[in-house]
Structure 1
Amino acid sequence: METQPLVSIIINNYNYDRFIAEAIDSALNQTYDSVEVVVVDDGSTDTSRSIIDGYGDQVVKVFKANGGQASALNAGFAASTGEIVCILDADDIFLPQKVSEVVDLFRANSEIGWVFTESTPVKTKALVNVERTEFYKNIFVNNSSESPKLVDFRSELKKAKLPNFTPSTSNLCFRRTFLEKIFPLPECKGSSGLAICDTYLNLLAVGLGAGYVTTRNLGIFRVHENNLYSTQSFDNKRRIYAEIRIATAYWMRIRFLEFNKLSKKLFSQGLSAYLASGSNLKDCKELIEKYFANLRFHERLEVNCVTFYYLLKSRLSKPV
């Protein structure tokens, strides 16, 4: 890795004109110098594109028709050139030191493929009329002093054991050569637009290579009324969960057969949630049919038994 490797920050945006400028500014105002900011607008119908256009040649602009998060990330990755790639949702924010700390971790170990960070949740109203420099500084100086952990979870993932660290999109950073093993992502949008999202990406990353997990908050996760998952009702959360699990399981089996055991576990979890929710989502139904069509008889029996177990477990527990 070069002394100052180029870092691409890919921002994916859909109808977040009230947030996109702050996300772009946070990417441009890094303490690390060698940064390329790629902004993908996924067919917004608000004023997002005019705001993005206002940055001129400070950013690489990608305007495309709406295709969901996976489609937007594919377009951003194709337009980027950095040796390291960091992903930022348009409603989130990077602290100024984010890229610098991430690069230091990649420099520390040439064998790792990924770095997962943390972000502190902040309600939108808490960011109104606040002096940003001081606000960001307070988050940074009060950060965890715990050292990053080198994690190699590959053998466990192949045994279908799920990691207990599940970072959201804006906490994912990768070495480009490593990310090329996973991209392009399957452009499976689903009803939520998130059928293929950070779940697919971070699970495959953990399964394909070692990396660092740090508990340091190097960004802000903005909590607002339009957070697609966190603000949903229990029933809607369950439907989105089912869609993500089923799509992740299907494409994992199609593209990475070495994770077949995990794929069946994820599919059973998703199918049980789908059945419990009483959903009739066309995309989900099609993927369920395709998944079963690819299973041998004993695998179908196994998946049905595990699905029944998860379904029974969900009915015995209370919604949270």
Structure 2
Amino acid sequence: MKYSVAIAAYNAHRTLSETLASVLSQTVKPTEIVVVDDGSSDATADIARAASSLVRVIEQDNTGCGKASSRAIRATTCDIVATVDADDLWLPQKIEKQLRMLKKLGSRSFIFAKHRQFQHGSSDMTSGKVRPGITRSDLVFHREIFDEVGDIIDPPGGRGDMVDWLARAREIGIHFHTIDEVLVMRRAIAGSLSSGRDPAKDRGFLAVAHMALQRRKQAAIKDGK
């Protein structure tokens, strides 16, 4: 099964080469890797281009992770897409195992895997917390689902983009399945969008909850309830 990899990257010079190396080390190799450089001021684009001839770089002004991810996915050419954050790592058999499950469960399925968190700069890759991986870095899916769900929206503050998109996918009947195995290493890095608690960034989650509530109200009105 052929698949594309979509990556949104912003000032990712510290981590992107490792991320790409983990993608290129998969037991089932990708057909292409699309990296959208979302207005970086560092060497992100150059690092991506140097990694492999499989990498295609799209440069744009800064728009946010959701829009950059959407552009990366839309630029892919395979029927199956895997997404990964520009600072996370895949273990070598991740895609092989996910493709096997996707083939078994069908095209209206999202296949995730568990991930383990590790600290940027640390050599300890074994003691971090293990979590069910309902994140961008854990996901493999059929490209047609993206067209049905629509673009990933950047909420105020920047956090919660995938929470909203995945909720919209559930609402149209997409089934979520998680492989009960750690196949992703999720990097904790100071200053990243997802690091720590920040009221300004966290307001995105409130916006996501409000959007979900509005969709439910609209659905109820449509159904005459």
Note whether the superposition's TM-score is higher than 0.5.
yes
> Normalized per residue, which structure has more helix?
1
Please name the residue that 1:212 is paired with.
177
Q: Deviation string for 1:16-52 (max 9, x for gaps)?
A: 1010101111111110134321111100011212212
- Are 1:198 and 2:162 counterparts? yes
Please name the residue that 1:49 is paired with.
45
Name stretches of at least 5 consecutive residues in structure 1 with no aligned partner.
Answer: 129-134, 145-164, 263-294, 296-320
Distance 1:111 1:48 in 2: 33
Q: Deviation string for 1:209-249 (max 9, x for gaps)?
A: 223122311110011212323323xxx2x432322331463
Please name the residue that 1:249 is paired with.
210
Higher normalized contact order (CA 8 Å, seq sep 6+, divided by chain length):
2
Aligned partner of 1:179 among 132, 137, 146: 146
Larger radius of gyration: 1
Distance 1:86 1:248 in 2: 26
Paired residue secondary structure (2:77): coil
TM norm structure 1: 0.61
Please name the residue that 1:260 is paired with.
217
CA contact (8 A) 1:68 1:189 kept: no
CA separation of 1:215 and 1:241: change in aligned 2, threshold 3 A: farther
Distance 1:28 1:220 in 2: 15
CA separation of 1:111 and 1:176: change in aligned 2, threshold 3 A: closer
Q: Please provide the CA RMSD for this pair.
A: 2.8
Q: Deviation string for 1:95-127 (max 9, x for gaps)?
A: 111111110111112253211222111112323
Amino acid at match of 2:25: N
* Identity within the alignment, %: 22
Aligned-pair distance for 1:252?
Answer: 7.5
TM norm structure 2: 0.84
CA separation of 1:225 and 1:59: change in aligned 2, threshold 3 A: same
Distance 2:39 2:17 in 1: 17
CA contact (8 A) 2:155 2:207 kept: no
Query: Map of 1:105-254 to 2, 5 A cutoff?
Result: 105-110=101-106, 112-127=108-123, 167-186=134-153, 188=154, 190=156, 192-194=157-159, 197-208=161-172, 209-232=174-197, 236=198, 238-247=199-208, 249-250=210-211, 253=214
Paired residue secondary structure (1:215): strand
Distance 2:171 2:133 in 1: 13
Q: Deviation string for 1:58-117 (max 9, x for gaps)?
A: 212111110001110111011101221111000101111111111011111225321122
Distance 2:31 2:5 in 1: 7
Q: How many residues align?
A: 217
CA separation of 1:248 and 1:63: change in aligned 2, threshold 3 A: farther
Aligned partner of 2:63 among 58, 62, 67: 67
Distance 1:86 1:189 in 2: 22
Distance 2:133 2:217 in 1: 20
Name stretches of at least 5 consecutive residues in structure 2 with no aligned partner.
Answer: none
Please name the residue that 1:315 is paired with.
none
CA separation of 1:68 and 1:47: change in aligned 2, threshold 3 A: same
Paired residue secondary structure (1:54): helix
Paired residue secondary structure (1:125): coil
Paired residue secondary structure (1:213): strand
